[in-house]
Amino acid sequence: MIDIDLHLHTYYSDGTESPTELVRRAAAEGLRTIAVTDHDGIDGVPEAAAAARPLGICVIPGLEFSAEWMYRDDSDRPEMHTMHILGYGIDLASGTLQEKMKEIRQKRAIRNEKLYRAFKGKGIEIDRKELESASPGGFVGKRSFATAFLKKGLADNLEEVFSSEALMDDPVIRSIHKEKTSAEEAIRIIHQARGKAFLAHPFQLGYSSLSREPEGFRSRLALVVRQLGILGLDGIECYYPTHDRERTAYLLTLADREELLVSIGSDDHGPCARKIKRIHSFRVEADLLRLAWVKDMTCSDA
């Protein structure tokens, strides 16, 4: 069984566990090398590294940028794509990275205030302390609002919260998006922090359906990967829970053609989150030779 997982979340973004809880569960699952890759943040890495040290686990410092990229197709027509860019082996003390984290926190606070006022306008009052208690890691986002709604008895589960037009599926609420980092900037910041940049879950490019591919999707994906490669992309996440054998083979071929590295990640958000994305939930056995580069990554000493 593979003992590497390079895509894990804690409650410092939208995960349900503390970094310590995540590391202990990873150890119990037999993992030896993990990357903590919270959304647009690095605050959980030091705690994870401290918890991992006595357990003999290597924690690769990472993050997952919410990004977008305006690519041009063969007819030179521009089209915006949303995506996630993973950063591995980053220097947490990088000045450029720290400045970006500060900027993201400020923008997140503005977005949360918009959400707070929008729900208040709908007649849904939320005490700010309720949001804080729903966010033990200090990361307040849409999931924090959703958790607060559950505690208020406005829904029975998170799925209901996000699918209800009375709550998160209201058009006004859905229009309050987080600002994304350009893929070019994300790759540059990761490299300036001495890390490697990977395209996360490529089959979710543009937040596509997990099961159905839009017409022409693969040709667009190949073009985006090529253009990101020109910008310095180091690799793509080929081994992923929703990738079957055929999709995995396609991505491995794409990685070879573009001379990119290959990563593996479950995108685990905790035992209370989606079962389809859990540690060891891969549908295809990974080729260890493809992951040989991981041995050269430095474990966090934060």
In the chain, where are the structural domains located?
4-102+178-296, 123-169
pLDDT digits (tens, 9 = 90+) for 211-244: 567 778 898 899 999 999 999 999 999 999 999 9
Determine the pLDDT at residue 302. Answer: 66
Residues 167-186: b if buried by 16+ CB within 10 A, e if exposed: bbeeeebeebebebbebbbb
CATH of domain 4-102+178-296: 3.20.20.140
pLDDT at 207 over 70: no
Determine the pLDDT at residue 32. Answer: 97
What gap in Å lies between CA 289 and CA 284, rounded to an integer?
A: 15
pLDDT at 210 over 70: no
Determine the pLDDT at residue 197. Answer: 99
In Å, how far are 114, 119, 208 from 109, measured between CA atoms?
A: 9, 15, 27
Question: What DSSP string describes 45-105?
Answer: HHHHHHHHGGGT-EEEEEEEEEEEEEEE-TT--EEEEEEEEEEES--TT-HHHHHHHHHHH
What gap in Å lies between CA 123 and CA 119, rounded to an integer?
A: 6
* Local confidence band at 259 (pLDDT 50, 70, 90 cut-offs): very high
What average pLDDT score do residues 188-211 get?
87
Determine the pLDDT at residue 117. Answer: 94
8 A C-beta contact, residue 259 and residue 219 = no
3-class SS at 258?
coil
pLDDT, the chain, mean: 91
Determine the pLDDT at residue 134. Answer: 74
Amino acid at 280: H
Least trusted range by pLDDT, from 40-49, 125-134, 173-182: 125-134
* Local confidence band at 140 (pLDDT 50, 70, 90 cut-offs): confident
